[in-house]
Structure 1
Amino acid sequence: MNTDPTLRPPGFGRALPVFTVDVEDWFQVNAFEPHVARSQWEQLESRVERNTDRLLQLCADTGARGTFFTLGWVAERFPALIRRIAQQGHEVASHGYWHQRIPTVSESEFREDVRRARAVLEDASGTAVRGYRAPSFSLTDEVPWAARVLVEEGYTYDSSRFPIARRGYGSAVADVAPHVLSTPAGPLHEYPPAVWPIAGFKVPVAGGGWFRQFPAWVTQTGLAQVLRHGRPAVFYLHPWEVDPGQPRLAVGALTRVRHYRGLDQCATQLEVLLRRFDFVSFRELFAAS
């Protein structure tokens, strides 16, 4: 994907921590696709509403604001949850409709997915949806058309380009700072998840599984370093990560560690993090520019 070094997106150079949530249910994780078919989703116990409400309460207790990248599938079934997110001062953004990695679908299927998700989310929240985050951070160089489609469908910013080298997602050459992706349809403002460059490596300190696997000080120190370098520090989490009681699937050892390890401590560690940093949403980051 082409970047335009002459342009600066809103919030560029603003050293603010940005809290984000990828709102999806426990059974919608991409790593579970071999074990849970989409046709089964309606029959499984949904825990996304209670878990998201727990995150909303943590935000209320700590004064944090965030951007909630929400699946359209979830919004259709829990519109009251989407209204609560918006009414409590958070930003509602799109995580797509079906939680499919972009390289696994066609351009037309991707367009329909992001269009449908945006319509459902705007209807449920009563607010304009401008932001997008790809499932599994899959807005990669494999799909050079995806940024253009997002612009054509009314999105103005994205937070999917993880600047690390990891199989399945990420781009080792992606810029660690906010930048502009140039497309034939216009610019797409890109805000990468936080990494801490140290000793020639990019340590992922943006949250998610990394937050649960690493000692708490790694994330806290890494985010502070990102802010010290004058960049927004984008952190993310999923509602299922504060739910150690979720159903367990018989998955491989690596997936089991990545998904289940640290669930019992995640909420406690998150509260500490939310109290240490004054987290804002992307909407507030842009307003501070």
Structure 2
Amino acid sequence: MTVDVEDYYQVSAFESHVEKSQWASMPSRVEANVEKILQLFDDAEVKGTFFTLGCVANSHPSMVRKIVAQGHELASHGWEHIRVTQQDRGAFREDISRTRSLLEDISGTAVLGYRAASYSIGADNLWALDELAEAGYQYSSSIVPIHHDHYGMPDAPRFAFPAAGGRLLEIPISTLSIAGRNFNCGGGGWFRLYPYAFSRWALKRLNTGESQSGIFYFHPWEIDADQPRISGLGLKTRFRHYLNLGRMHSRVKSLLSDFEWDRVDRVFPVNEYGQ
């Protein structure tokens, strides 16, 4: 069970509508939403992994410490939600090192995992996995093996695989193969789009039919139907971001009770990797 900790205005789809210079003046809702998630997890006796933006951790250090104090894993989501496709190797190296250092300083715990903004590691920039290994990360969860207009590596393995010459474990978001095509069943907008019964069926099929652990993700803003609306969005962006936000809290609650969940570092053999 994973959470990508970012605020509603920091999503990649809003890049052309909300400048980074505006972030400081926008009402932040991430801490209150993370508090709701922590309560959901506590009620279900679930521990998860929180992939956290460095800039969010820098502004909300007490939130980060609370995540760790409650037994959850802290991992890196990069500094400012910049897609890897928009960075060269040097900028990426600085980003992942800066974020990891800050998260470890705030939390007092080792940060082993990384997730790229918008799953922006794919066939054209697999060098990023080498950089993560060099920076001391033990695993990444940054690839989605599907066709998508903004991300995806459909030819990637569907399940966890060694990367960066065996120095790093890549854990793709869960998909289900149907008629030769992979469908996302690991969270995000897909979880809000599909009926809950489909998601439950798909994850059960992964567990029982393929004997694989699923990896699921969602964002704090997805359980916040009252978040401020961003103006000027295109129809597709507006649909994807705001679809079924009011149903998300109850769906996550059902998901937590219908399956057994734990932190990434305890479900997958990440300790076999790294320097």
Question: What TM-score, normalized by structure 1, do the two folds share?
Answer: 0.91
Quick one: which of 70, 95, 103 aligns to 2:77? 95
Residue 78 of structure 2: SS of its match in structure 1? Answer: coil
Matched residue type, 1:194 = S
Residue 38 of structure 2: SS of its match in structure 1? Answer: helix
**Paired residues for 1:199-218 under 5 Å:** 199-218=179-198
Report the counterpart of residue 29 of structure 1 in structure 2: 11
Quick one: which of 233, 238, 242 aligns to 2:219? 238
Shift of 1:118: 0.3
**Paired residues for 1:164-203 under 5 Å:** 164-183=146-165, 187-203=167-183
Q: Is the contact between residue 4 and residue 220 of structure 2 (CA under 8 Å) also seen in structure 1?
A: yes
Q: 1:287 to 1:204 in 2, by over 3 A?
A: closer
Unpaired runs of 5+ in structure 2?
none
Matched residue type, 2:197 = W
Distance 1:249 1:40 in 2: 12
Distance 1:44 1:239 in 2: 16
Shift of 1:286: 3.9
Q: Is the contact between residue 53 and residue 81 of structure 2 (CA under 8 Å) also seen in structure 1?
A: yes
Report the counterpart of residue 8 of structure 1 in structure 2: none
Q: Is the contact between residue 121 and residue 142 of structure 2 (CA under 8 Å) also seen in structure 1?
A: yes
Distance 2:40 2:9 in 1: 23
Report the counterpart of residue 270 of structure 1 in structure 2: 252
CA distances 1:204-250 after superposition (whole Å, capped 9, x unpaired): 11011001011001111111111121112000000000000001112
Shift of 1:196: 1.1
Unpaired runs of 5+ in structure 1?
1-18
Distance 2:8 2:217 in 1: 16
Distance 2:30 2:261 in 1: 22
Report the counterpart of residue 15 of structure 1 in structure 2: none
Q: 1:288 to 1:193 in 2, by over 3 A?
A: closer
Residue 23 of structure 2: SS of its match in structure 1? Answer: helix
CA distances 1:150-197 after superposition (whole Å, capped 9, x unpaired): 1111101000110101122110100001101134xx521011111111
**Paired residues for 1:3-152 under 5 Å:** 19-152=1-134
Residue 234 of structure 1: SS of its match in structure 2? Answer: coil
Shift of 1:58: 0.1
Identical aligned pairs, as a percentage? 43
Distance 1:287 1:106 in 2: 30
Q: 1:217 to 1:148 in 2, by over 3 A?
A: same
Q: Is the contact between residue 169 and residue 270 of structure 2 (CA under 8 Å) also seen in structure 1?
A: no
Report the counterpart of residue 230 of structure 2 in structure 1: 249
Once the two structures are overlaid, the 10-residue window that deviates more, 140-149 or 40-49, is 140-149
Question: What TM-score, normalized by structure 2, do the two folds share?
Answer: 0.95
Q: Is the contact between residue 207 and residue 213 of structure 2 (CA under 8 Å) also seen in structure 1?
A: yes
Shift of 1:57: 0.4
Give runs of ≥4 in structure 1 deviating > 3 Å: 286-289
Distance 1:148 1:62 in 2: 37
